[in-house]
Amino acid sequence: MKIIMKIILIIFTLLVSAGCENTVPEFSGKNAFQYLEKQCSFGPRNPGSLGYKECLTFLLQELVATADTVWTQPFTYDDLHRGGSYDLQNIIARFNPNAEKQILLGAHWDTRPWSDKESDIENQNMPIMGANDGASGVAVLLEITHILKSNPAEIGVTIVFFDGEDLGMSGDNTSYALGSQYFAKNLPIPKPDHAIVLDMVGDKHLHLPIERLSYRHAPRLAREIWKLANRLNLPAFDQSLGYSIFDDHVPLWEFAEIPAIDIIDFDYPHKFDNYWHTQEDTPDKCSPASLEQVGTLLTHHIYGIE
């Protein structure tokens, strides 16, 4: 009798576990990659360009079709290094805004106006395509919006596409992450419990150690996310510490005290070669499988929060 009861208990446990697993929607790397390609079809999305304006229209259309509320947060930036003024806008979309538990997911949607890491001097003033550095994080979050639309989560999710992340001048951190700085200083939503920022997550050779500033500002969240990746057998995630990178997660903590982490692969494609801020940052260097790993992790995080 005891053996039979043990067998029944084991079967029940397995069924419950399977049921819980089935409550997490499937993330499609293929769909996300199509969003990456769509953004790149507009060309470079550096502020003020035609590609920027066309992509803005596209992103707003996608979000209006999925989110509960959508709006832009306009701001201006005067470039003291190179001259000129930019009219910028963060794009904000909220899902289940009345839920008690709230998180923020973010990525920058602008691309860099200059290819300053190009070895060919003649190409250094050309804007980059930004397939990985710009489109990849947005692509993952666009697919997440469709999942949230079809499978409403118990928690609230705010998705922010930050502008002006890539207008910066080397050596001056404050000239980067302009959209997240403005957002954090002028918080347009109730303060979320935590934030996860995606940047450069489409690399075919994806390798994601824990970004050091993330671990410094939000160690508990960083450990939780990378342990979840380990449980999900996502090989790109490495639980060792990587670089310290000033990205959109830093202003969220510094100006609004939102515990925030950055999921980023800065070695693009690896330590011995560089497509970052060059004309080589194109869709053929990116992979649906890489986007799927990151999206799968976020989906399990969203639907696993109690």
Q: Has residue 20 got a pLDDT over 90?
A: no
- Considering only CA atoms, which of 87, 157, 166 is closest in space to residue 133? 166
pLDDT of residue 12: 45
- Residue 268: per-residue pLDDT: 98
C-alpha span between 13 and 271 (Å, rounded): 45
Q: Phi, psi (5° rounding) for residue 20?
A: -65, -40
Q: Closest by alpha carbon to 37, among 127, 126, 134, 103?
A: 134
pLDDT of the residue at 30: 98
- The residue with greater pLDDT, 169 or 91, is 91
pTM of the model: 0.92
pLDDT at 248: 98
What is the model's pLDDT at position 3?
52
Checking if the pLDDT of 6 tops 70, the result is: no
- The answer, yes or no, to whether residue 4 has pLDDT greater than 60, is no
Could you give the C-alpha distances from 22 to 15, 18, 145, 300, in angstroms and in order? Answer: 10, 6, 19, 11
Q: Are strands 156-162 and 102-108 parallel, antiparallel or unpaired?
A: parallel
pLDDT at 191 over 60: yes
Residue 169 main-chain phi, psi, to 5 deg: -110, 130
Greatest Cα pair distance, the chain, in angstroms, is 82
Rounded to whole angstroms, the Cα distance separating 199 from 106 reads 9
Beta strands in the chain (DSSP E): 69-78, 85-95, 102-108, 156-162, 194-199, 208-210, 237-241, 260-264, 269-270, 273-274
Q: What pLDDT was estimated at residue 291? A: 99
By the 8 A CB rule, do 171 and 233 touch? no
Q: How far is CA 275 from CA 40, 115, 204, in A?
A: 16, 10, 12
Instruction: For residues 274-285, give the mean pLDDT.
Output: 97
CB atoms within 10 A of CB 50: 11
> What would the mean pLDDT of 45-74 be, rounded to a whole number?
98
User: In the predicted model, is pLDDT for residue 13 greater than 60?
Assistant: no
Instruction: Tell me the mean pLDDT in the region 33-51.
Output: 98
Give 82's pLDDT tier (boundaries 50, 70, 90). Answer: confident
